[in-house]
Amino acid sequence: MADSVEFSLIGMDDLIAKLDTVSNDLRMKGGRFALRKAGNVIVDKAKANARRIDDPHTGRSIADNIAMRWNGRLFRQTGNIAFRIGVLHGAVIKNHPDKAVNAPTPHWRLIEFGTEKMRAQPMLRPAAETSIDMVVSVFGDQYMKALDRAIARALRRGESP
């Protein structure tokens, strides 16, 4: 059974008040922008963690393959905005592996989770766990800025926000 994570936001009253004044379309657009900025905090920290683990003598770099992608499936199913943060290329190398920059790094799972003969050296999980406060503050700040821009843009056009 998965552990649940619960937290409450305190001090976001201004943001919630502004959300009531704008349309759903503007909420989603600003939310996606703010969520992308907040997700970049985790991506940057994960890349820094991966650079500590990567072997500089090989062409394969886990840090170069860490990316954030839009989660369209969740958005279509539930209407919630979400991004996925992970390592590109999957776990299987097809044919002859490329060893150039951004080459597939299927061994990242072995490093992240460990094996029975090798201890785990996590890079993604600690990046998410240690940066929750920063992510929430960046999301709130960026969302507030996006809503301010959207309201100002709507008022310039003479529309209601």
Per residue in 94-128, pLDDT (tens digit) is 665 666 666 778 888 888 889 999 999 999 889 98
Alpha helices in the chain (DSSP H): 13-19, 24-53, 62-65, 72-78, 108-113, 124-130, 132-157
Alpha-carbon 111 to chain mean position? 20
Reading the block at residue 44, the tokens are 């940057």
- Per-residue confidence (pLDDT) for residue 4, from 0 to 100: 52
- Per-residue confidence (pLDDT) for residue 2, from 0 to 100: 46
Point out the residues of the chain with pLDDT beneath 50: 1-2
98, 61 Cβ separation under 8 angstroms: no
- Per-residue confidence (pLDDT) for residue 157, from 0 to 100: 79
Going by their DSSP bridges, the two strands 66-70 and 83-87 should be labelled as: antiparallel
